[in-house]
Amino acid sequence: MATVSMTVNGKTVTGEIEGRTLLSHFLREGLGLTGTHIGCDTSQCGACVVHVDGKAVKSCTMLAAQADGCTVTTIEGLARGDQLHPVQAAFREHHGLQCGFCTPGMIMAAVDMIERHGGKLDEATIRHELEGNICRCTGYHNIVKAIKAAADEMSGSVATAAE
């Protein structure tokens, strides 16, 4: 057994892990943060995306030991009390979810995408960036619409009716 310590959603946490423990399992089972979903364990679906030191990471492909000393943000860490993060609010407003299984990973990937592109995103870029996230329900139209709306809001742009 090894001990890991990291900051998760603004709080320092420490836990005992086996060396092979995945970050996704540590978050879900060790910390009870079940918003990080596990859909494949092979890095194909993106349901497990979290931010590690500010970058989107598929937590099913990272060992918890690799996150030792890092800052991790999960879907539970985005909202500020009752105030949803702009991406969460846009997914709700634009119906960017159906069953909800992929939603945490989609939102975490979208936040990273918006931050990396400075909020300036078009539909083609959003669709390209989402290639590592699978939604089996929606066909992506409303997900893309939600991400575009959130990006526009976060960058201070005003979307036109044509968009």
pLDDT tens for each residue of 55-90: 999 999 999 999 999 999 999 999 999 999 999 999
Give start-end residues of each CATH 3.10.20.30 domain in the chain.
Answer: 2-77
d(CA 62, CA 136) in angstroms, rounded, equals 24
Q: Distance between CA atoms of 139 and 122, rounded to whole angstroms?
A: 17
**Fold of the CATH domain 2-77:** Ubiquitin-like (UB roll) (3.10.20)
pLDDT of res. 157 = 62
Please tell me the pTM assigned to this model. Answer: 0.92
Does position 127 have pLDDT exceeding 90, yes or no?
yes
Q: In this model, does residue 162 exceed pLDDT 80?
A: no
Residue 138: predicted pLDDT: 78
Architecture of domain 86-155: Orthogonal Bundle (1.10)
pLDDT mean over 18-24: 96
Looking at the chain, which residues constitute the CATH 1.10.150.120 domain(s)? Answer: 86-155
* Burial of residue 74 (number of CB atoms within 10 Å: 0-12, 13-18, 19+): buried
CA dist., res. 31 & res. 3, Å (int): 14
Terminal alpha carbon distance of the chain? 53
Residue 95 zone, left/alpha/beta (φ > 0; ψ -120 to 50; rest) = left
Average pLDDT value over all residues in the chain? 93
